[in-house]
Chain A
């Protein structure tokens, strides 16, 4: 298959070897699970259980609210300990609404859980509806509710389903292992997604540092002539949706657009696997495969983890720390989030937990920019990070926006290559956050202004109405007076002839 070149990108040490040969293990049930209500982009789910309630595995814990949302299900059977606040799987570590579940150890599925005999006989809408009900979100890390993406054919002319098996972040191997070990299930899920989307073109892109995954997927895909497997060059950020689609089709997604604008919908292999389980077995999304790795982890592994498991339980399963971790990260080292503590729970979007040593991070003290243009060469979006950051440092956020700040995908290639160790991403993120806050403030301001204007207009209208009423009344009074005067005059003139007559 012909591939197209994308610009920029970097070649970080891949360090996948740490975990890539570790088969997927299943984590023994921890003694407590903390399941946040929001594990997806969009509106948070609203709780459907009470404290003390007993639940079976797969039972609904919280329903999705609104168009872009996803329900949350019980990862195992047990008793609800509370619906309260617990530290989030997020850099801030702030507490968020979370359901705490105490497993009873039986791991018993709810009675209603059952799969569909022949899911390919289902209508496309029905597949999407079941995916929605199973709480499946994009498992590559972005956590966009998958069913919404499976419904895109309603608004876009979708012709191709692309499966993002690039997995370009260093260390991460969970998709690699899943494709190697469960290729048939993944392919089944992919075909179901293609059916929901109504497309017959399916391209699975896999970076060429995963030959085993390519081979396994090729064997499993041989049942469907519509599926093609593309060997992608290993280059970060190949897994960026728009860049992947460009590599495969040569088409660039217009700025501010979606890949659906050029007819392509992208899903992740782990999402496909979840779709397979949801349709064939009726299992909602209650567990996922996570790569636990990094130089500070005693035994790097790929583990299938019940959602809500605390990071500390997962790390303990992997032998704990053998070295002092300088950073604990959720996701890959390039775009992952630092985790403030090992207490936080695993969520649908967490594809990796990395404990990195200081040596692996290879940090340095920031030095002045020498305009080496390394960041310009590395940027896959054609931006000039050094210039944007100079503007941000000078407080000129508008200048940064004018130079494409909002087109930045935050991949971190620029900061990775910067010889001056300048935290470029931090500056860019700060500016993006500030612009978003300004946007909200401005929106609020215009809203306030609009309301004030409406009020003024209303008052004016009332005043005008009153004035008009007054004038109307005045006019009426004047008219009445006039009429009376006229009537009086008429009476007088009418009386006159009489008088005249009488005179005559």
Chain B
């Protein structure tokens, strides 16, 4: 009765239940509340744009794999392309024409991901590469925001009307405007002080809930925070990057606000507006493009936070998350090179620890 089992292979012969599709699925699940809120708040045009972007991402992935002669099914089914499309859609102006989403998805998948060698090989966050490229190439379309017009409300465009907005090349001048971040920048530039600008534009509560003009999935700080906490709870991400990122922004904002409250808004303003929370929990935490060690991640998160604050406050763009993340992506390999965990039995420089032999141990 001797039985033979398959050829030798080493262990472990047990495996955790995690897998890449499950991880990606959990991230998408965490995005659902904020996404649904965005889709509801910005109506049919947002829904069309969202779908067009996802379809564009999947199509781009299929085409790239096909051209590269790689098997399509395993890469397509791991969920990474879908998630990239989803994240990109979250950052687009909700009433942008369909081709913004599709071109963005193509840029993200083909230029930022597949030319680097596909999943796991890209240096930069694909969704952010696409967003920045779009912002530079199509500044008008990328900065035309609408005030929230929830589905089924009186001002909301109907199904047909929205098809014309998304697919028909019809402008929507009547609605277009800037986000709070953009408006504040412009008016500060004109010599106004925060005390006169902010109360008109900004209420922390609506910023947190998300009933403000903004990108498709970025407006609701609370729902994004909820998704982020879910990811922490499920151990899909660790606390290091979000805490370092948000903490740095909060500390810098508080400091500057203390120094000159006339021109520098407080921490809460920075935390709930723009893509801060989406960036902290969903973008900067992209494993592929962030450092691997806990200390490296703290450094990376702090760097993102610093850059976001600097770009928003002093640079030419109102929104800093995409630029900040891309700049820190470029630093991630360097961080990984210099910041490593300490090896057991060695000091930080890699030398074996001193021998210490005495009976003095805890009783």
- A residues within 8 Å of B by Cβ? 1-2, 7, 10, 12-13, 91-93, 156-157, 159-160, 170, 201, 242-243, 248-257, 261-263, 312, 316, 320-321, 325-329, 333-343, 354, 356, 360-365, 367-374, 376-377, 379-384, 386-387, 403-404, 407, 412, 415-417, 419-421, 423, 425-426, 429
Contact = CB atoms under 8 A, between A and B. Distances in A.
Interface string B342-356: 111110001011111
A91 B10 contact: yes
B19 A334 contact: no
B238 A377 contact: yes
Given A253-B345, A340-B4, A403-B340, 18 more contacts: A7-B344, A242-B345, A257-B355, A320-B1, A326-B5, A326-B6, A327-B6, A334-B11, A340-B7, A341-B2, A341-B3, A368-B118, A371-B287, A381-B343, A382-B340, A383-B343, A384-B340, A404-B346
A334 B13 CA distance: 6
B120 interface: yes
Interface of A is mostly: loop
B14 A416 contact: yes
Contacts of A425: 10-12
B358 interface: yes
A374 B341 CA distance: 13
Contact of A364 (B15, B238, B361, B363): B15
Contacts of A321: 3
Contacts of A252: 344-345, 353
A263 B358 contact: yes
B18 interface: yes
A274 to B, nearest CB: 26
Interface in B184-210: none
A255 B238 CA distance: 29
Given A10-B16, A327-B5, A376-B292, A257 B345 contact: yes
**Considering residues B16, B78, B358, which has the most beta carbons from chain A within 10 angstroms of its beta carbon?**
B16
Q: Which 7 A-B pairs have the closest CB atoms?
A: A255-B345, A412-B12, A91-B8, A255-B352, A373-B292, A381-B344, A382-B341
Contact of A261 (B1, B80, B357): B357
B119 to A, nearest CB: 5
Given A327-B13, A341-B5, A419 B345 contact: no
B153 interface: no
Contacts of A360: 13-14
A362 B14 contact: yes
B315 interface: no
Most chain B C-beta atoms within 10 Å of own C-beta, residue among A159, A326, A338: A338
A170 B14 contact: yes
B2 A382 contact: no
B141 interface: no
A257 B352 CA distance: 9
Contacts of A420: 19-20
Given A170-B14, A251-B356, A384-B340, A338 B20 contact: no
Given A262-B356, A341-B3, A419-B22, A412 B11 contact: yes
6 contacts: A91-B8, A157-B357, A338-B5, A340-B7, A362-B15, A368-B121
Contacts of A384: 292-293, 336, 340-341
| Contact residues of B: prevailing secondary structure | loop
Given A159-B359, A416-B15, A368 B119 contact: yes
A263 B20 CA distance: 44
Given A255-B343, A374-B18, A419 B23 contact: yes
A362 B17 contact: yes
B316 interface: no
A46 B1 CA distance: 31
B74 interface: yes
Contacts of A334: 11-14
A373 B293 contact: yes
A362 B22 CA distance: 14
Interface in B55-71: none
Nearest to A414: B12
The winner among B9, B15, B18, B355 for most chain A CB atoms within 10 A is B15
A383 B14 CA distance: 21
B344 A255 contact: yes
A253 to B, nearest CB: 6
A423 B12 CA distance: 9
Nearest to A87: B2
B345 A312 contact: no
B355 A341 contact: no
A494 B80 CA distance: 116
B345 A341 contact: no
B16 A416 contact: yes
Nearest to B118: A368
Contact of B2 (A343, A354, A404): A343
Contacts of A263: 357-359
Nearest to A328: B5
Given A327-B6, A372-B23, A417-B18, A383 B341 contact: yes
Given A327-B6, A420-B20, A361 B355 contact: no
Contacts of B9: 338, 423, 426
B113 to A, nearest CB: 12
Contacts of A262: 355-357
A311 to B, nearest CB: 9
A404 to B, nearest CB: 5
Nearest to B341: A382
B181 to A, nearest CB: 31
A397 B22 CA distance: 33
A45 B288 CA distance: 52
Nearest to A369: B120
A361 B15 contact: yes
Nearest to A375: B292
A72 B87 CA distance: 65
Among the interface residues A160, A373, A381, which one has the most CB atoms of the partner chain B within 10 A?
A373
Given A367-B20, A381-B343, A420-B20, A12 B358 contact: no
Contacts of A93: 8
A403 B293 CA distance: 14
A13 B14 CA distance: 9
Contacts of B346: 254-255, 404, 407
B14 A333 contact: yes
A364 B19 contact: yes
B341 A376 contact: yes
Contacts of B121: 368
